[in-house]
């Protein structure tokens, strides 16, 4: 995990998402960009006058190794209790970042609800209600998809639902003390 300002040259064409509207765009090979953030499973770049989000699976395009995902040392997934699984959910959520802010979505206070239940097939269903720092943020779909993908990768994950809400609106008062200190607020 890092927050930096390093120049990189794209080694191949790559699809990215423009921040803050989430619009897809292609950056061509040879583009010079500034790597501003490498947190969770994505990279944030400043390129061609835009701030963009690069998926970790495309890390080779900027000469980086793919981010290492959080490992879960679980000897026997069948022994997971609902509480154990919920703990894994919160750990996974803490690996998701707003692409403009170097703080995870849990510490930012973007996760309003986390409901975990064990289904009849012994899988765990998860319902997340979350928000964004601003209602007009176009990255909502990207962030909620990242949350869904990370939760779906957990052992015994079943149905995953992620809903975005803006009621109540997010405010800095929802941030953890750690996040406030990290951002100098």
Has residue 10 been placed in a domain? yes
Q: How confident is the model at residue 88 (pLDDT cuts 50, 70, 90)?
A: very high
The CATH code of the domain that includes 49 is 2.30.30
Domain match, 90 and 125 both: yes
CATH number of the domain within which 112 lies = 3.30.300.130
Look at residues 18, 39, 62 and tell me which one is the last residue of a structural domain: 62
Q: Which residues contact 47 (CB under 8 A, 6 or more apart)?
A: 10, 16, 27, 31, 32, 33, 34
91 and 170 share a domain? yes
Q: How many domains does the chain have?
A: 2
Based on the domain organization, do 40 and 100 belong to the same domain? Answer: no
- pTM confidence score: 0.82
Domain span at 114: 77-182
Q: Which residues contact 18 (CB under 8 A, 6 or more apart)?
A: 24, 25, 50, 51, 52
pLDDT at 143: 92
Residue 6 in this model has a pLDDT that exceeds 90 = no
Beta strands in the chain (DSSP E): 2-9, 14-19, 24-27, 32-39, 42-47, 50-55, 111-118, 124-130, 157-164
If you compute the radius of gyration of the chain from its CA atoms, what whole number of angstroms results?
A: 17
């Amino acid at each position: 995990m890092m927050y930096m300002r390093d120049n990189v040259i794209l080694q191949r064409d790559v699809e990215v998402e423009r921040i803050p509207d989430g619009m897809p765009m292609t950056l061509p090979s040879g583009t010079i960009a500034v790597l501003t953030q490498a947190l969770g499973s994505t990279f944030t770049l400043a390129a061609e006058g835009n701030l963009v989000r690069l998926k970790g699976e495309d890390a080779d395009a900027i000469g980086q190794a793919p981010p290492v995902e959080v490992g879960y040392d679980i000897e026997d997934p069948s022994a997971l209790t609902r509480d154990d699984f919920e703990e894994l959910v919160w750990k996974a959520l803490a690996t998701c970042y707003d692409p403009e802010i170097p703080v995870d979505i849990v510490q930012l206070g973007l996760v309003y609800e986390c409901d975990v239940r064990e289904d009849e097939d012994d899988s765990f269903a998860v319902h997340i209600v979350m928000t964004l720092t601003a209602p007009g943020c176009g990255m909502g779909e990207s962030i909620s998809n990242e949350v869904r993908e990370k939760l779906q990768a957990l052992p015994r994950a079943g149905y995953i639902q992620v809903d975005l809400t803006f009621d109540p609106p997010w405010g800095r008062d929802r941030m953890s003390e750690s996040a406030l200190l990290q951002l100098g607020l």
